[in-house]
Chain A
């Protein structure tokens, strides 16, 4: 099965615009983790700060464009992995190894199968 691992952290830890020194540290840890994952990593990426986010809202067929992320929260979606895992237990084991700087949450979501 394929799972998305959605990484939620308080992005202010990474400084304004996620350009502080901590970002170097976490990026190198993610790179090491990527190597470890090998073929189990199907895709994924870090995301730029929510200050760069734009949200398109659709209401009754009408689009409107907004500045900012979909939801304001203490922890924001900061990156994701798409992985291949045998089952939820393997996905949980992998998710536990996803680097986070301090506190954070990894949401595990199975991807919808084809059709």
Chain B
């Protein structure tokens, strides 16, 4: 087996094995350490001999044995003994014939995404433990050094251990809040992948992990609308990836993307998830958001009119569920097309600029409206503000080109 194939086995096995170990030993750091140890052993063993028929089961067994050995050594420390004896007594016997790894991924997801863990750390921890990405890969996506990310992950694991984050699945009364934290985490993690429109950067393959993670979540929580809505959203966004950048590396705005370059199979899959979500709770926030993506993806060619009226009315219903400046800003883009640029600009100027000032899209939308109204100087200023806050290459190139389209006022 090649190095890359091994990497893939390790990555795919990570969520299930670390989840099962964490549930069993109630210790995230230990679970992660012994899994790494098992992977290192596998690299030696499998190249010397052959790859076992069930590599994941092999990894789980080796990791679990390493954990038990470690704990037995520590058992001499009396303090640990009383806490751990219960774990030893319950299942050491079935260790050797452990053929099936219990699926504890949902537990692991809930632990990593506990609201008591900082929001960025949650996303990083989920990518590390559930998706099996390396610390280096995650560090690159979050634009921090590997050492900083390692520290952040360690801190998150200590918080979970020290604060007493439960290793049981949350009781039903905690679900709404807890599930929201999980979904927000997935959105942040996918956001990291989505930022990289060209899919050439280090976060590119996150996207695949997010497709996998969301389908797992829907499989594990079939009766909730929002996991299915997030699964749909991730797919709809991902389907558009091939059309998001033009041949010169410029970002292509949604309404100018060629729908024929979108990935139909992903869209079809997404619609399946969306229908399911919509049947469960048609007016949930994330369901409406997914419908907005779906409205766009229902466009078949560049010649057919963009679905602006539909998009605007979906934003209207989203506003009744969640009224925040970002939703209002997104809605304005549709308002400009439906009710005209003047109307959109006057609404935009009435938004709370204090909150939006730090948000690049606010300046980009404003610049676009000003440019189209012929207010050259104001438009240029707004483009500069947007450029100041935009880091991705394709977007910068696009903004720069748009800025160049500003016409000099006739004098």
Task: Spell out A's residues near B (CB within 8 Å).
Answer: 1, 3, 85-89, 91-93, 108, 110, 115
Closest to B162 in A: A110
- Which residues of B lie under 8 Å from residue A87 when comparing CB positions? 164-166, 168
Cβ contact within 8 Å between B164 and A1: yes
A110 to B164, CA, bound (A): 8
- Min Cβ gap A90→B in Å is 8
Query: Taking chain A's interface residues, is the majority helix, strand, or loop, or is none over half, making it mixed?
Result: mixed
B170 within 8 A of A: yes
Closest to A86 in B: B166
- Min Cβ gap B176→A in Å is 13
A108 to B165, CA, bound (A): 12
- Which residues of B lie under 8 Å from residue A108 when comparing CB positions? 163
Cβ contact within 8 Å between A89 and B162: no
B114-131 with Cβ < 8 A to chain A = 114, 116
Cβ contact within 8 Å between A91 and B79: no
Which residue from A86, A93, A110, A115 sits with its C-beta under 8 Å from B163?
A110
List 6 additional contacts besides A87-B165, A89-B166; criterion CB under 8 Å.
A86-B166, A87-B164, A89-B165, A89-B171, A91-B164, A110-B162
- Which residues of A lie under 8 Å from residue B165 when comparing CB positions? 87-89
- Min Cβ gap A92→B in Å is 7
Q: List 13 A-B contacts (CB under 8 A).
A: A85-B164, A87-B164, A87-B166, A88-B114, A88-B116, A88-B165, A89-B171, A89-B174, A91-B164, A93-B173, A108-B163, A110-B163, A110-B164
A115 to B79, CA, bound (A): 9
Task: Spell out B's residues near A (CB within 8 Å).
Answer: 79, 114, 116, 162-166, 168, 170-171, 173-174
Cβ contact within 8 Å between A88 and B166: yes
A110 to B168, CA, bound (A): 18
Cβ contact within 8 Å between B162 and A92: no
- Which residues of A lie under 8 Å from residue B171 when comparing CB positions? 89
Which residue from B114, B164, B168, B174 sits with its C-beta under 8 Å from A93?
B174
- Which residues of A lie under 8 Å from residue B79 when comparing CB positions? 115
A1 to B161, CA, bound (A): 12
- Which residues of B lie under 8 Å from residue A93 when comparing CB positions? 173-174
- Which residues of B lie under 8 Å from residue A88 when comparing CB positions? 114, 116, 163-166
Cβ contact within 8 Å between B166 and A92: no
A13 to B164, CA, bound (A): 33
A87 to B166, CA, bound (A): 6
- Which residues of A lie under 8 Å from residue B116 when comparing CB positions? 88, 92
**Closest 9 pairs between A and B when the two form their complex, measured CB to CB:** A87-B166, A88-B164, A1-B164, A87-B164, A88-B165, A88-B163, A89-B166, A110-B164, A89-B174
- Which residues of A lie under 8 Å from residue B170 when comparing CB positions? 89
A91 to B163, CA, bound (A): 10
